[in-house]
C-alpha cells in the first residue's frame, strides 16, 4: 500500500474523531453543569482526553509512515508500536482515575444531587456519536492494518461505554438509586483497564520480535514452494513492526545453477509473498545450494584465492594459463568441484586426463569438469 495514501487516510479519520471529541467534551461538560450531573461532567473530561490522544495519534502516524532513512533503515513502524503502548498506559490511568472517583463518591455521606432529564438526551447523543467514530476508525484501521488506529478506535468505544454508564447512572438516580451511577462507572473503569492491557500486551509481543503463528508460517511456505526451481526452505524467520510482517527466508536451490538464476528465484519468491499477503512489507532472501550442508567435524574449506593458486601450481606447464577463460568452484557437502572453461576450440583427451591427475593430491577437490568456451554472438547471429 502506498505510504502516502495510508498517511492521508489515517490523518483524515483522526481529524474527524478529534473534532467530534472536542465538541462532545465541551458539550457534555456544559450539559453536565446545567443538568447537575457529575457523571456527565466526568464523561466530558473523558472525551477531551480522547481529543488529546487524537493529537498524539496524528503525530505518531506522520512519523510511523515516514520513508526509511539512514538512521531507520527498516522504516519507522516501531514508533506506532510504542505509541500503542503509550495509549494502553493512558487507558490504565483513565481507569484508575475513574475507580478513584467512583470510590470517593460511594464514601460520601451527603446525598448526591438528582440530574435533570436533559442529561439523558446528551448521554444518548454521546453514545451514538462515539459508536459512529469507533466503526469509522476501525474500518480505516483494518484497511491500513494499523494497531495505533485500532487503539484509537477502542478509545472511542470506551467513551461510548462510559456514556452508557452515565445514561444508566442518570436514569437510576432519577428512579431513586443514586449508587447505580457509581457502580456502573466502576464497571466501565475495569473494561477500560482490560482494553489497555490488551493493547500493551499485543505491542509488547511485537517489540520482542515474536514470530507469526504457525498457520501464517505455513501459508508463506506454501506460497514460496509453489515456485518452480525452489527445492525447499531451510529457515523462515518472521517479526512484526508497525503492524507489518518482515520475513527472512533461506531457500534451497539446485547446487549448479548460476548466481543470477538464484537471484531471480529469490526475486520471484519476494514478489509472490508481497503480492499475496498485504500485511508483509519486506522479504529478505538468502539462497542455499542443496548440497551445501557441512558437519561440525569437517574442517573449513579453503577460500577461492587459495584454491585457484593450488590449481595453477598443480597444472604448471600442462596448460597455457592464458587459455583459461574461467574457473568456477562449487562448494558442496564439504568438498569442492571445479568447472574449468578453456578459451580454445578443443582439448585432447590426454591433456584432460593430465589436468585431472595433477589435482588428485588436492584433498578438498573431488571433481573436475572441463568445457570449451563457445564463441560469443551478437543479436543478428554474426560472430562477434
The cell numbers describing 192, all together, are 477500560
pLDDT band of residue 62 (cuts 50, 70, 90) is low
Q: Is the pTM above the cut of 0.85? A: no
Range 169-195 average pLDDT? 77
CB 186 within 8 A of CB 99: yes
Ramachandran category for residue 244: left, alpha or beta (phi over 0 → left; psi -120 to 50 → alpha):
beta
Which pLDDT value is given to residue 292? 58
Is residue 132 scored above 80 in pLDDT? yes
Range 102-131 average pLDDT? 82
Tell me which H or E stretch contains 174.
helix 147-174
What percentage of residues in the chain have a pLDDT greater than 70?
Answer: 82
Listing DSSP states for 1-44 in one string gives: --HHHHHHHHHHHHHHHHHHHHHHHHHHHHHHHHHT-HHHHHHH
Range 315-342 average pLDDT? 85
Q: List all residues 6 or more positions away from 155 whose beta carbon is below 8 Å from its beta carbon.
A: 50, 53, 87, 90, 91
Which pLDDT value is given to residue 93? 86
Range 206-224 average pLDDT? 85
Which pLDDT value is given to residue 225? 93
User: Exposure string (b/e) for 143-177, b if CB count within 10 Å is 16 or more?
Assistant: bbbbbbbbbbbbbbbbbbbbbbbbbbbbbbbeeee
pLDDT band of residue 73 (cuts 50, 70, 90) is low
Which pLDDT value is given to residue 192? 75
Is residue 275 scored above 70 in pLDDT? yes
What sign results for the dihedral spanned by CA atoms 48, 53, 56, 60?
A: negative
Ramachandran category for residue 344: left, alpha or beta (phi over 0 → left; psi -120 to 50 → alpha):
beta
The cell numbers describing 240, all together, are 512484526
What sign results for the dihedral spanned by CA atoms 32, 34, 38, 41?
A: positive
Which pLDDT value is given to residue 297? 57
Residue pLDDT, tens place only, 227-253: 999 999 989 998 887 667 889 999 999
Q: Which domains does the chain have, with CATH numbers?
A: 3-207 (1.20.1510.10), 214-292 (3.30.70.1350), 304-372 (3.30.70.1350)
CB-CB neighbours of 215 under 10 Å? 7
Is residue 383 scored above 50 in pLDDT? no
Which pLDDT value is given to residue 213? 86
Is residue 271 scored above 90 in pLDDT? yes
Amino acid at each position: 500500500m502506498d505510504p502516502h495514501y495510508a498517511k492521508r487516510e489515517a490523518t483524515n479519520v483522526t481529524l474527524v474523531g478529534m473534532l467530534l471529541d472536542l465538541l462532545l467534551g465541551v458539550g457534555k461538560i456544559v450539559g453536565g453543569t446545567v443538568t447537575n450531573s457529575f457523571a456527565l461532567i466526568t464523561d466530558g473530561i473523558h472525551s477531551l482526553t480522547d481529543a488529546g490522544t487524537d493529537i498524539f495519534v496524528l503525530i505518531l502516524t506522520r512519523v510511523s509512515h515516514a520513508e526509511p532513512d539512514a538512521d531507520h533503515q527498516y522504516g519507522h513502524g516501531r514508533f506506532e508500536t510504542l505509541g500503542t503502548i503509550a495509549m494502553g498506559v493512558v487507558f490504565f490511568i483513565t481507569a484508575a482515575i475513574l475507580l478513584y472517583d467512583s470510590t470517593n463518591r460511594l464514601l460520601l455521606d451527603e446525598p448526591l444531587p438528582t440530574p435533570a432529564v436533559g442529561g439523558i438526551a446528551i448521554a444518548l447523543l454521546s453514545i451514538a456519536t462515539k459508536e459512529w467514530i469507533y466503526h469509522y476508525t476501525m474500518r480505516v484501521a483494518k484497511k491500513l492494518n494499523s494497531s495505533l488506529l485500532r487503539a484509537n478506535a477502542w478509545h472511542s468505544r470506551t467513551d461510548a461505554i462510559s456514556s452508557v454508564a452515565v445514561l444508566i447512572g442518570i436514569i437510576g438516580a432519577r428512579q431513586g438509586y443514586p449508587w447505580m451511577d457509581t457502580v456502573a462507572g466502576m464497571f466501565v473503569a475495569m473494561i477500560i483497564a482490560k482494553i489497555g492491557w490488551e493493547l500493551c500486551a499485543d505491542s509488547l509481543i511485537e517489540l520482542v520480535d515474536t514470530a507469526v503463528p504457525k498457520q501464517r508460517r505455513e501459508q508463506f511456505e506454501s506460497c514460496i514452494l509453489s515456485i518452480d526451481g525452489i527445492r525447499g526452505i531451510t529457515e523462515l524467520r518472521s517479526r512484526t513492526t508497525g503492524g507489518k510482517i518482515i520475513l527472512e527466508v533461506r531457500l534451497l536451490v539446485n547446487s549448479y545453477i548460476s548466481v543470477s538464476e538464484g537471484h531471480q528465484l529469490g526475486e520471484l519468491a519476494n514478489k509472490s509473498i508481497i503480492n499475496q499477503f498485504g500485511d508483509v512489507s519486506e522479504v529478505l532472501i538468502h539462497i542455499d545450494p542443496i548440497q551445501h550442508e557441512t558437519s561440525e567435524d569437517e574442517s573449513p574449506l579453503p577460500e577461492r584465492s587459495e584454491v585457484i593458486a593450488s590449481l595453477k601450481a598443480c597444472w604448471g606447464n600442462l596448460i597455457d594459463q592464458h587459455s583459461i577463460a574461467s574457473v568456477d568452484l562449487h562448494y558442496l557437502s564439504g568438498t569442492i568441484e571445479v568447472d574449468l572453461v578453456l578459451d580454445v576450440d578443443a582439448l585432447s583427451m590426454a591433456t584432460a586426463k593430465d589436468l585431472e591427475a595433477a589435482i588428485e593430491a588436492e584433498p578438498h577437490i573431488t571433481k573436475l569438469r572441463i568445457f570449451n568456451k563457445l564463441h560469443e554472438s551478437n543479436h543478428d547471429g554474426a560472430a562477434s
